[in-house]
Structure 1
């Protein structure tokens, strides 16, 4: 008897599963808000220098930029005097008219859309504008570090304690970010928020999957994923209502105090409890689930001996240790790991380049964020159809190639054609959402059971690296304006091409061991060799006949 069969006895699709998945999925709504929060809290409104003290008017104090608007980062050193016909250029001797200087007295911001952001709070404009991208990179770096740290801690202390602690850490670090006295402290607390987000993600996936039956896991995963999508609709609504960045940061963080309290009801992983010698607690968890599902008598029939005996095989296999180097043990694994790493990196890199660049398209930032979120709904549905009928490899490659092409196409679209630019961006983000949907399934099917979790961990690491690097690439636009878009487009295209070097897994049995994978790789190689040999033979025969 396996754990799945034990779960059937205590109820695998009862009220407990509904409540358990709901409590774990609700925080995902606000995880989306934290990931995309800087779209609004770090928005850069129109701005210009505070005029020099001897300026007679704004028009005479500021030079005009290429777009016909006042320059954002310069002001006249000696503003011309306003005459009857406008500013005079004969007032100052020695040719001093027209000399400019930086904004020595600060900036004046347009606060019609945002009452305040971290940009207006700490003047992250002009020579300091790169600091905004650095803040987002530090947050993504926190997610990367958190995935490594909390992954190890959950194996030692359990999934539920790490989940509970991560809720509290996100609530506290988010609140502290809202009351940060300086940009440095804000960045530090955002880094901690990123760390906690990884702890929540890892524990949520494991605890959701373990307590639902196998045939429902795909549906449960999709439902939880749609909670993230809905969260993308909640954020712009909150941002539209709350235009002060500190209050917006505070509002999206406070729900995690409630989730911290509600997490005490969530059940711990029974497999982890038995594996770490806490079988009595595992038995109590199963009996609690049975009682909640109206099967109290079935729960009473379970015993410690039966539980240990039935999970003996799973426990024995889990004790075999496989390190990260196991992912590169043979040629088949090396090819899979290298290709899948690049694909995960390209997906995270491309996705966040578009998701965090909402304000670059010149349309209403709130409406565009809703459209971006809405693009995920049909994208995930269409990707499921293609995965089921076309195959994993073609779907994965096509998603990234189309996304990269859409990003590259925007380079050639004039900035005043905002509708076309926005449409291409929405299409690209939808393709990248489909890529994520495909990658989770494809990666789990490519790796053998014994190192599958390691393979997923490698992919998660690479996509976090991509999301961390993406904001920094934007800084290269200071040198060459179109360079960021070129890089953002080429990386997904490269990832899409790489996907075609992977084997197809549609309608194939999952490999259990590394030996199974190597055997299958050799069979595929022999089949390909025989196909090529046969084709060459037919070609030679045809040449002889002619």
Structure 2
């Protein structure tokens, strides 16, 4: 019996219809490149010091001496304390010239009158507007983590909504959610309201990317899917990443920056009339006429005369059986066999570490040496060769060794950062870029590798659990960046150790290169060091029976 790909093979693999769909879907991914990373500029912390209220009894010379210097430095002033103003006033009356007196022994007090922020780089950020510094500096990473927590919630529900209402509805619905909450967040009157809207914004952000990925994968033929998911989506995501610093360079206020970024999304609404629904999904819902209409339109676009009858009754029934087979099964099935459990734990761990590294490096851009806007642009540009390399490796090389090598290289480079003298700032930036390239490279490959590890009934569930775990890593990443406020290279040390560790852990997974995708649990590759006992074999057979019953239902 022919499957969907065989039935629609007459369309060809790369005709005008497929090219148009790929172009529209990949171009529409661009806003996702800056949706989750605009916090780099929106939430950056400008240089600041305690505000000193104007006092006619205090000369300018004494005003300049009210801020203590950081111990061990001659030019860096404290950002969270000042000398007691009442003592300074009394001393200024006795000593008109502050140079005649050593003020370092005067008691200090917190910034009771707020802070003065430098406007050399920004006119405003959420940090400068709501004073998210000193005792409240935890609020800035919390804001970012809350956004990624929304992404976690969205990733858990987007698949269910997409299966229920269709890929196209989720695609444009999540686009509308992004635009709406981006517009609302610019009206935030307080940090608390900003956090709430930012959380809701995160729920819609990931749904669009996933829906575009699934829609394109279901419409395109097998030979084009890997290219679409790596070079297509990946490279255009990087284009959006590179656009962010370009726009932020000219727009230095956080409200106007988010407003402009959200208005860019309005340009994609007309795509509703050009991007079709997934024929596979329509067939799974029994909407045969709609599916046939889309396929015939694609055939006309490609200059091909379609068969008079596209689907026989037997083929429709067979397609329904296939759709049931690829539906996700309960997560509990992932822990009922030792082999599946070990693969799931290792995969989830790798995904989480990759997310920590990817978002940790991205969010750490303001703490790097050099120009923030140039560094952010380079961080986006370096992903394009990463996706090209991923595409080549996935076609030619073993999964396990190549993945482990990339992870170990990225981690080693980040650890080497600790040995670079502070005066070699360009070398430090280059090493960070190499580390970022490796992480993006590995992140792109892990999608394919993980999907090849699981059998058909568990594939959606296994990849979904791993993806959910990666969202946990993105929630943690802002606090890894916060470690840099205590020791500059500490975030690189933590991320480097984690990356090297994940590179070692990958070696415990089975190889899947040039091995047919497993359709049952028995066909799964075995973790060599994890001996499968008799009870595990019995449990595997029971799992197959349970899954078979669920498929029949």
TM-score (norm 2): 0.87
Which 10-residue stretch deviates more, 164-173 or 256-265? 256-265
Cα displacement (A) at 1:469: 0.7
Q: How does 1:309-348 map to 2 (within 5 A)?
A: 309=317, 311-318=319-326, 322-348=329-355
3-state SS of 1:61 partner: coil
Distance across 1 between alignment mates of 2:480 and 2:326: 41
Cα displacement (A) at 1:366: 0.7
Q: 2:258 aligns with which of 224, 249, 264?
A: 249
Structure 2 residue aligned with 1:56: 59
Computed over aligned residues only, the root mean square deviation of the Cα atoms, in angstroms, reads 2.6
Q: 2:509 aligns with which of 494, 502, 512?
A: 502
Structure 2 residue aligned with 1:265: 274
2:409 aligned with 1:402: yes
3-state SS of 1:208 partner: helix
Are 1:65 and 1:71, in contact at CA under 8 Å, matched by a contact in 2?
Answer: yes
Structure 2 residue aligned with 1:367: 374
Are 1:153 and 1:162, in contact at CA under 8 Å, matched by a contact in 2?
Answer: yes
**Cα-to-partner distance string for 1:260-317 (whole Å, 9 max, x where unaligned):** 342343211222222223223222322333333334x527543674762562442353
**Cα-to-partner distance string for 1:379-408 (whole Å, 9 max, x where unaligned):** 333444455555211121122222222222
Cα displacement (A) at 1:59: 1.7
Distance across 2 between alignment mates of 1:86 and 1:23: 67
3-state SS of 1:33 partner: helix
**Cα-to-partner distance string for 1:451-502 (whole Å, 9 max, x where unaligned):** 2121211221111110111112344556676654433222222211110111
Are 2:508 and 2:527, in contact at CA under 8 Å, matched by a contact in 1?
Answer: no
Are 1:233 and 1:373, in contact at CA under 8 Å, matched by a contact in 2?
Answer: yes
Distance across 2 between alignment mates of 1:264 and 1:304: 29
Gaps of 5+ in 1: 527-546
Distance across 2 between alignment mates of 1:259 and 1:299: 34
2:226 aligned with 1:215: no
Which 10-residue stretch deviates more, 433-442 or 281-290? 281-290
Gaps of 5+ in 2: 533-553
Q: 2:183 aligns with which of 156, 175, 190?
A: 175
Are 1:327 and 1:455, in contact at CA under 8 Å, matched by a contact in 2?
Answer: yes
Cα displacement (A) at 1:217: 1.3
Relative to structure 1, the CA distance from residue 4 to residue 378 in structure 2 (aligned partners, 3 Å threshold; closer, same or farther) is same
Q: 2:461 aligns with which of 449, 454, 458?
A: 454
Q: How does 1:10-409 map to 2 (within 5 A)?
A: 10-54=11-55, 55-57=58-60, 58-66=63-71, 67=73, 68-78=75-85, 79=88, 80-81=91-92, 86-89=98-101, 98-221=106-229, 222-295=231-304, 297-298=305-306, 301-302=309-310, 305=313, 308-309=316-317, 311-318=319-326, 322-409=329-416
TM-score (norm 1): 0.88
Relative to structure 1, the CA distance from residue 488 to residue 521 in structure 2 (aligned partners, 3 Å threshold; closer, same or farther) is closer
3-state SS of 1:108 partner: strand
Size of the aligned set, in residue pairs, is: 519
